[in-house]
Structure 1
Amino acid sequence: MDNLVEKSHDYHLTNFKKKSNFELHWRELFRHPKWRPPPTSASSKRTKLSSSGAYSSEGNNDTPTSEEFELVRPQGTKAATSRKGKGKGKATAAEVAEYESIQVADKRRMDIMEELNEIRLKELAVKQSEVDLQIIMADTSTMNDAQRMAHAKLLEKIMARNYSTTSTPRKSIYRNREGGHERLMNDYFSSNPVYPENLFRRRFRMGRHIFLRIVDVVSNSDPYFQQRIDAVGRKGLSPLQKCTAAMRMLAYSVSADDVDDYVRIGENTAVECLKKFTAAVCTVFEGEYLRKPNSNDVQRLLQMGEARGFPAWKGMFMSGHKGVATIILEAIASSDLWIWHAFFGVAGSNNDINVLDRSPVFDDVLQGRAPEVNYTINGNNYNVGYYLTDGIYHEWSTFVKTIPRPHNENKKLFAKYQESQRKDVERAFGVLQSRFAIVRGPTRFWDKADLGRIMRACIIIHNMIVEDERDTYATQFGPLPTYDDTTNGLPEPNLGEESFVPYETYVQNNMQMRDRHTHHQLKNDLVEHISQFHNNRYFF
C-alpha cells in the first residue's frame, strides 16, 4: 500500500510538477471496505442465534458463523481506527507551560490592539467634534436660502448623530423665520404695506396703532417677546411674529398649526405665545381697561343713563350661561360697549342665580367702598345705583327688571325702554364674540387659569378698541363720554390691603341691597319717570 502511494506521488509530481493532494481521499476510501463477503444463500432471514451467539438463517443451516468465518482486516487499514475515542497520553509540564505562555502573549497582544483602537476612535471623535462646531457656529446671516437649507440639513445630521435615541428622532424643519418676518413687515407694517388699513382692521380686529402699542408694551414687560439670537447666530422669532400668531388664534379661533405656514412659527411655540401673550396683556393693561369705575366714571355713566331716561343707571348686568356645558361669564357693560366687570366661573357650579353668591360685583357695595350715588326719582331719595337685568334675577334694590306682562300704557312704555336699553349688554356680548371667535367656539385648553386669562385678555383688548373707536359709534342720545385713562388723570391702583367694615355694617348693607320693598318702589318710580321722559321728549 505504501509503495503504491509513493509511486502515485512520484507519477503526479513528474507529470504535473506539484505534489498530489489526493492521498487523504484515497485513505478515506480504504477505511470503508467490505468487511464480510456476500451470503452464499438466497435467504437472508435470520430467526435464531447459533451456539456462538451469531445470527443464522432459518432456510440455510450452512450459514457460516464467527467460528467458521473470521473477518480479516484489508490491507491499508490501520489498527488505530479500532481504538477511536480513546484519548492520548497526558501533556508534560513543559508543554503546559508553553501553552500558557502563548495564551498570555495572545491576551496581551489583544489588549494592546484594543487600546490602540480606542485611542484612534477618540482622535476621530475630537476631529468630528471640531468639524461639527465649525458647522454649528457658521454665520448664517450672510447665506442665501439654498445655503441655509444645506446648513439646516447638516445640523439635523449632527443632532441625529449626537443625540440619537431608540425612538424616531424629531425632524427639524427649516421654516425660514427671517423670511416670514420680512413678509409680515411688507404686508402690514411697512411704510407702504401690501394690505391697507381697512384689511388690517378686519384681520387684526383693531387699528394698526393699537396693535403696535400692545406689541411694544408686551415686549418691554416680558423678555419672551424680545427677539434674541440663538446658539448658531440666527435671529429668533420677532415680537411681531409672536403677537400676530397669538392674535390670529384669538380672532379666528384657529389651531396653533394653522398659523405656521404664514407666520413661520411651530405649533408648540404658537401655543406658548398665546398663553404668554394673554398673561402679559392681563398683567399690563388690566389696571386700566378692566378696572372698577371710579367717581368720575360713575358720574359719566349716570349722565349717559339719565340721557336715556334712567337716572342713576350704571350699566347692564347679565351672565353668559346658555343652558349647555360651557363656561359662564358674568359681565356688566355700558351702552358704549365698554365692559366694566367680568367674572369667570365653571358652569357646573354657577348659573344665572347663584353666580351672585361668588361674584365680587357687589363687594364694594357691601364693604362701603363703592362711589357714592345720590338721586331722586318721583320724590323718593336713593343712594345706591342699579343695573338693568332680565326677569330671572333676584328682586334686589340694585336690579331693575322688566315687566313681563304689562297691563297699562305706562308699564308697556317702561318695558319697551328697559328691554331696548338692556340689549346693549347683549350687543356687547355679540361684538366680543364676533371680534374674538375663540370666545364663541369650544375651549382650546383644559386649564381653567388659561381659559380665564384668555377671556380677560379678549375683554381688555375689546375695551381698547372701544376706546379708540367710540367716537365713530352712531347713537341717538348724543356723544358718548370719555373715561379716565393713564394720560387723563387715572389714579394708580391700590395694591395694598383694603380695609373691611365691621360685621354689623356688612350685614346691614347686605340686607339693604336685598330689600324687595326698595326694588318694587324703584321700579314703580321709574315707570312714572319713563312716562314723563317720553312725553317731554316726543311731544315738546
Structure 2
Amino acid sequence: MSSDSSSSSSDDILNDMIIEVTHETINYSREEAQSSTLRTRKPALERDWLGAHERLMQDYFCENPLYDDEHFRRVVFLYGRRYLRMLTVADVPLLYEANQRIHGFPGMLGSLNCTDWEWATCPTAWKGQHHRGDHDCPTLILQAVASQDLWIWHAYFGMASANNDIAVLQSSNLLDDVIDGVAPDTSFYANDVEYKYGYYLTYGLYSEWATFVKTLSCPDDEKIIRQGYLKKSKMRNVMYTCIILHNMILDDSGRAFCGESYDENNQPTNPLLTYAEKEVIRAKIRDRNTHHNFRVDMTVHLLFYREQGGDDEDDE
C-alpha cells in the first residue's frame, strides 16, 4: 500500500471515529436535555461506561495508543475554526442581547476565570513550580472565558500552578485580537455613555482594566470538570479537543446563543498596525478611569433596569 493511500485510510478512520463519538455524545446530551425539559426521567440505559473507558484508554492514553498526538491535532484542525473561534461580528450582538435579557448587563462578553487541573505524572524536576499548597499533587492552569450558555470562547492551558491569575493573564492571548486590531467592534452603551470595549466578569484579584468588571458576579457561568493525569503536551491536546466537543454539543442541542451565527467565509483579516498603534489600544484596555466610570454607569443602568421590571434570574 502506498504512503498516500495509507495516510488517506488513517484520515478516514479518524474522521469516522470522531463522527461516531461525537454523535453518541450529542445523542446522550439531547436525551438529557429533553428529560430535563419534560421534568421527567427516562428509564436508565445501559451504556457500558466501563467498556467505554477501557476503549478510550487503549485508543489514546496507553503506552502505544491507536490514536497519537497527531490525531488530536487533526481534531483541532478539523473543528477548531468553528468551535474554538474568536468572537465574530455576528456573535457580539447575540451575546449582548442574551446577557441584557437574562441579567440586565450591557456589554458583557462572558466570565473569565482560571482553574487548576491535577497532573499526577508531572516529572519530579518540575514538581516545585507546578505545586500549590491547596492541592495534593502538581497542577496546570486553565484560563477560560464562558458565556451564560456555557459556550467556551477562549481557553489558554498549560502554565505552571505556581503562577497566579495575573501572571496567566499577562502570558495569555486573551486580548491579543483586540490589540492587533482584528477583534470585532464590541462597543456598547451603559447609562447613555458609550464604552469602546466589551468586558469580562472577574473576581477581585484582577487589575482594574476597562475590559474587566469585578463587582458583578455570575458564578454559574463556569462549569469546568477537574481531572487530568497525562503528559503536559497530551493534556493540552485533550483539553482543546474536549472544549471543541463541548461546544459542538451546545450547538447541536440548540442551547448556544451564537449557534447559527458562524460563517466559514467570514474570517477576520489582519490589519498592519504599528507598534505605537497597538500600544494605544493596550493603554485603553488597561485604563483604570474607564473601569471606575463604568462601575458607576453600570450601577445606574441596573437600577433603571430593575425599576422597569427586569429579571436578572436565568430563564427556567
Q: TM-score, normalised by structure 1?
A: 0.43
Q: Aligned-pair distance for 1:267? A: 5.0
The within-5 A match list for 1:291-306 is: 291-306=85-100
Aligned counterpart for 2:242 among listed residues 446, 458, 472: 458
Q: Which amino acid aligns with 2:115?
A: G
1:259 paired residue number: 55
The within-5 A match list for 1:44-443 is: 223-224=9-10, 226=12, 240=17, 258-259=54-55, 267-268=62-63, 271-273=65-67, 275-307=69-101, 308-321=103-116, 323=132, 324=135, 325-348=138-161, 350-402=163-215, 418-419=216-217, 422-427=218-223, 429=224, 433=225, 440-443=226-229
Whether the 8 Å CA contact 1:387–1:399 is kept in 2: the answer is: yes
Whether the 8 Å CA contact 2:108–2:198 is kept in 1: the answer is: yes
Q: Which amino acid aligns with 1:337?
A: L
Q: Aligned-pair distance for 1:260? A: 9.0
Q: Which amino acid aligns with 1:316?
A: S
Instruction: Give, in whole Å, the separation in 2 of the partners of 1:293 and 1:356.
Output: 18
Kindly provide the CA deviation profile for residues 417-449 of structure 1, in whole angstroms up to 9, marking residues without a partner as x.
x32xx223323x2xxx2xxxxxx22322x2x33
Q: Aligned-pair distance for 1:337? A: 0.9
List alignment gaps of at least 5 residues for structure 2.
1-5, 26-47, 118-131, 312-316
Q: Aligned-pair distance for 1:375? A: 2.2
Q: Aligned-pair distance for 1:259? A: 2.8
Determine whether 1:482 maps to 2:263. no
Whether the 8 Å CA contact 1:321–1:352 is kept in 2: the answer is: no
Helix, strand or coil at the partner of 1:286: helix
Instruction: Give, in whole Å, the separation in 2 of the partners of 1:378 and 1:241.
Output: 48
Q: Aligned-pair distance for 1:225? A: 5.2
Q: Aligned-pair distance for 1:284? A: 0.3
Q: Aligned-pair distance for 1:266? A: 11
Q: Aligned-pair distance for 1:258? A: 2.8
Kindly provide the CA deviation profile for residues 354-377 of structure 1, in whole angstroms up to 9, marking residues without a partner as x.
111111110121122221133222
Kindly provide the CA deviation profile for residues 166-191 of structure 1, in whole angstroms up to 9, marking residues without a partner as x.
xxxxxxxxxxxxxxxxxxxxxxxxxx
Whether the 8 Å CA contact 2:59–2:67 is kept in 1: the answer is: no
Helix, strand or coil at the partner of 1:372: coil
Kindly provide the CA deviation profile for residues 62-107 of structure 1, in whole angstroms up to 9, marking residues without a partner as x.
xxxxxxxxxxxxxxxxxxxxxxxxxxxxxxxxxxxxxxxxxxxxxx
2:35 paired residue number: none
Whether the 8 Å CA contact 1:257–1:266 is kept in 2: the answer is: no
Determine whether 1:502 maps to 2:296. no
Instruction: Give, in whole Å, the separation in 2 of the partners of 1:264 and 1:466.
Output: 25
Whether the 8 Å CA contact 1:396–1:516 is kept in 2: the answer is: yes
Q: Aligned-pair distance for 1:278? A: 2.4
Instruction: Give, in whole Å, the separation in 1 of the partners of 2:50 and 2:8.
Output: 24
Q: Which amino acid aligns with 2:249?
A: I
Change over 3 Å in CA distance of 1:266–1:368 after alignment to 2: closer
List alignment gaps of at least 5 residues for structure 1.
1-219, 228-236, 403-417, 434-439, 474-479
Whether the 8 Å CA contact 2:149–2:221 is kept in 1: the answer is: no
Whether the 8 Å CA contact 1:315–1:388 is kept in 2: the answer is: yes
**How large is the RMSD of aligned CA atoms in angstroms?**
3.7
Q: TM-score, normalised by structure 2?
A: 0.71
Q: Aligned-pair distance for 1:222? A: 5.8
1:17 paired residue number: none
1:6 paired residue number: none
Whether the 8 Å CA contact 1:243–1:273 is kept in 2: the answer is: no
1:526 paired residue number: 298
Whether the 8 Å CA contact 1:225–1:242 is kept in 2: the answer is: no
Kindly provide the CA deviation profile for residues 269-305 of structure 1, in whole angstroms up to 9, marking residues without a partner as x.
5x23264542221110001110101100111111112
Kindly provide the CA deviation profile for residues 142-165 of structure 1, in whole angstroms up to 9, marking residues without a partner as x.
xxxxxxxxxxxxxxxxxxxxxxxx
Q: Aligned-pair distance for 1:316? A: 1.1
Change over 3 Å in CA distance of 1:260–1:300 after alignment to 2: closer
Instruction: Give, in whole Å, the separation in 1 of the partners of 2:70 and 2:202.
Output: 35
Q: Which amino acid aligns with 1:517?
A: N
Q: Which amino acid aligns with 1:466?
A: L
Instruction: Give, in whole Å, the separation in 2 of the partners of 1:238 and 1:514.
Output: 43
Q: Which amino acid aligns with 2:259?
A: T
Whether the 8 Å CA contact 1:321–1:347 is kept in 2: the answer is: no
Q: Which has the higher strand share?
A: 2
Structure with greater contact order relative to length (CA < 8 Å, sep ≥ 6): 2
Q: Aligned-pair distance for 1:529? A: 1.0
Whether the 8 Å CA contact 1:376–1:382 is kept in 2: the answer is: yes
- Higher Cα Rg, which structure: 1
Instruction: Give, in whole Å, the separation in 2 of the partners of 1:264 and 1:342.
Output: 25
Instruction: Give, in whole Å, the separation in 2 of the partners of 1:482 and 1:241.
Output: 20
Q: Which amino acid aligns with 2:87?
A: P
Helix, strand or coil at the partner of 2:165: coil
Q: Which amino acid aligns with 2:54?
A: D
Whether the 8 Å CA contact 1:302–1:313 is kept in 2: the answer is: yes
Change over 3 Å in CA distance of 1:442–1:255 after alignment to 2: farther
Helix, strand or coil at the partner of 1:320: strand
Change over 3 Å in CA distance of 1:381–1:492 after alignment to 2: closer
Instruction: Give, in whole Å, the separation in 1 of the partners of 2:61 and 2:291.
Output: 56
Whether the 8 Å CA contact 1:278–1:457 is kept in 2: the answer is: yes
Whether the 8 Å CA contact 2:112–2:200 is kept in 1: the answer is: yes
Change over 3 Å in CA distance of 1:360–1:481 after alignment to 2: closer
Q: Aligned-pair distance for 1:243? A: 6.7
Instruction: Give, in whole Å, the separation in 2 of the partners of 1:284 and 1:221.
Output: 16
Q: Aligned-pair distance for 1:317? A: 1.0
Helix, strand or coil at the partner of 2:238: helix
